Every structure is written in structure tokens, then in C-alpha cells.
Amino acid sequence: MVELHGGKVGLTSEVGVGSCFMIDLPYVSASAQLAPARDVTPINAPQENTIANTTDDLVAPLPLVLLAEDNEANISTISSYLIAKGYRMVFAKNGQEAIALAKSHQPDLILMDVQMPIMDGLEATKQIRLDPNLVNTPIIALTALAMTGDRDRCIAAGASNYCSKPIRLKELNQMMENLLIDGDLIK
């Protein structure tokens, strides 16, 4: 778990004295991770546009991620990492909830566990792709299955990419950034 967060575990032990376990966890404050405002006109630039910008126009909203996952440990590990990275998050615990939240919240990116109760992630992905508003939303399938052909099944269902469990958070974050940049959702 510590290594998944990019940390280290250490141990010193002396017979008859005791053992000391050390855990190193990298920490970056959420405020340091906030995306810089973009498309801000410099104050001394010529004002061609006579319509005043509101404050809302000046701050880029943080990407909204829908995490569809039924396992509590994965939800807490993935969400605490991504929230620290500056993402906003909504959560679904099965495929049906994932479809409903995708439609109502229009997330910038979806993380879709494959194995979930009620409706699995492959079926949910297929149905999400039928919505014209969600055709191009990046979807990363998360699966514990490591069988050959899994990747193909996820891509065939409409996933943009595939991440096998145990999830390596840095790798997942890189994959997310690439998809968001490709879709022009972040710069």
C-alpha cells in the first residue's frame, strides 16, 4: 500500500529489544497542486473585448473524474491520491450508478472498474458510449483480470485505455493526463 503511494517501508530490529517500522510517504499539499489559471489576459494587454470577464472565466475548473468502483480500499486509495492531485471526484459503486452519474455530471474522465455488482464495467461502458454527449469522454477500464484478451474486451466495449490492478497510481495519473491533454481538457 505504501509503495502504491510512492513511499518506502523500512525496518530495524534487535533481538530482545524490539522492532522499529518506518514508513515514508511523499506529501504534496492540495493547494500546490491546483492547476494554474489559463487563458488569462495579462493586465497590460490591449482590451479588444469590451465584455467584462467575470471571475469564473479566469479560473479553469479542475477536471471532474467519475470513479466507478465497488471496492472500498480501492476507492479510498485512488480518490485520496487524485484529490491531492487536484481532481474533483464523483463516485459510483456499480455500472448502473456509473451510467446515471456520467449523464448527470458529464465528467471529464471516467475510471471504470470492470468487476462490479448489478452491472459490470464493460456493459456500463458500452451504454455510456451510446450517449451522444459521452461518446468522446475518456474512459479508463480498471481490472484485476490479467488474462490475455482483457484489454481487447475493454477497448471493444468503448474504453479509451486499460489499467490492470493493483493500480500503480503514478502510472494511472500519467495515463489520465495524456487522455485529458489529447481531448484538450487540460493543457
Residues that bind Mn ion (CB under 5 A): 70, 113, 115
Closer to Mn ion by CB, 63 or 143: give it. 143
In eight-state DSSP terms, residue 159 is: -
- Stated as kind and residue range, the H or E segment containing 173 is helix 169-182
Closer by beta carbon to Mn ion, 65 or else 98? 98
Smallest gap from residue 94 Cβ to Mn ion (A) = 9
For the bound state, the minimum distance from the C-beta of residue 75 to Mn ion, rounded and expressed in Å, comes to: 10
Start-end of H helices in 1-148: 30-33, 55-58, 72-84, 95-105, 121-129
Longest Cα–Cα distance in the chain: 78
Q: How far is the CB of 104 from Mn ion (least distance, A)?
A: 22
Please identify, using beta-carbon distances, which residue of 14 and 72 lies nearer to Mn ion.
72
Contact 122, 114 (CB under 8 A): yes
Q: Which residue is nearest to Mn ion (CB)?
A: 115
Nearer residue to Mn ion within complex by CB, 116 or 175: 116
